[in-house]
Amino acid sequence: MNRPSKQWELLLGELYCRVRDCHLCPRMDAEKTLRRADAVSVEEMDVLIVSQSLAANQLRRSGVNFFKADGTIGATGVILDRFLRKFGRTVHPPNTVVLSNGNVISRREEGLRSVYNTEIAQCYPGKALGKSGDRRPTPIELTTCTNQGFLLEELQIVNPKLVLLMGSASFEGFYENMLGLTPSCGLTQEIDNIVKNWEIPNLCVSGTTIKVLPIQHASGANPRFSKMANDPLLIDLIRGAL
């Protein structure tokens, strides 16, 4: 993808304003925090991670993906970061970020590259009825959000070498809404097939070919993530793609 000639900081800032001002889905939580474009460095971010939707108390509170308002990293970010470090990447931002409350989010360590993270549904869906976890966005909400062009624009600005789809909702939502495809199998089987075939799929997104790899959701309650993250064949496959 050819990066637009306009400065990417301004492009992302404008995009984040549009995301914040979008209220098309009535069941989505309207409370949004403006994402911090100063926590991004497009020049170094060659991995873009697509999650399902926002968490309740991380980016919405800090403006930085995976980090909370006290400057600490959330539970999912901790688990994901251990996986990313196996191929030289991290969820920590490229530069130190000072929050409006005075708390500080530490920059990445030397020798690591920051990843860019976004979501299929770029709002917080609220808690699942009668459950402790968050509600899964509906297919209509996923379609509505991708139809606004937010994710496509992020892909065009960041221009990653590799897209990681984290979790089944991200995997299915990306395939259906960004590629116009229905996955031929479930998430676990898709990952197994990719490793077995020793090839990360090159998929066409709006006329541009990009490597897309689904991964398990980095949750402590998901034993499949740990198994996947400790597969040396998968790690070698990712390293070869980068």
DSSP secondary structure letter of residue 54: -
In a domain, 2, yes or no: no
1 within some domain: no
Inside any domain, residue 41: yes
- Domain count across the chain: 1
Residue 3 has pLDDT above 70, yes or no: no
Mean pLDDT over each residue of the chain, to the nearest integer: 92
Euclidean distance between CA atoms 70 and 143, whole angstroms: 33
In the numeric block, the tokens 């970020």 are attached to: 97
Beta strands in the chain (DSSP E): 47-53, 89-90, 97-98, 104-105, 113-114, 116-121, 162-166, 202-205, 208-215
Q: Is the pTM higher than 0.85?
A: yes
Q: What is the CATH number of the domain that holds 17?
A: 3.40.470.10
Domain membership flag for residue 167: yes
Look up residue 176 and give its two tokens. 């259906």
Q: What percent of the chain has pLDDT over 70?
A: 98
Residue 3 lies in a domain: no
Q: pLDDT by residue (tens digit) across 204-213?
A: 998 889 999 9
Query: Cα separations (Å) of 239 from 47, 192, 218?
Result: 11, 17, 19
Beta strands in 138-241 (DSSP E): 162-166, 202-205, 208-215
Sheet holding 47-53, edge to edge: 116-121, 47-53, 162-166, 208-215, 202-205
Closest CA to 114 of 192, 199, 36: 36
Enclosing domain of residue 169: 8-241
- Asked if the structure places residue 28 within a domain, the reply is yes
Rounded to 5°, angle at Cα 230 from 74 and 113: 55
Do the domain assignments include residue 129? Answer: yes
- Determine the average pLDDT of the residues in 92-109: 95
Q: Is position 149 within any domain? A: yes
pLDDT top residue among 220 and 26: 26
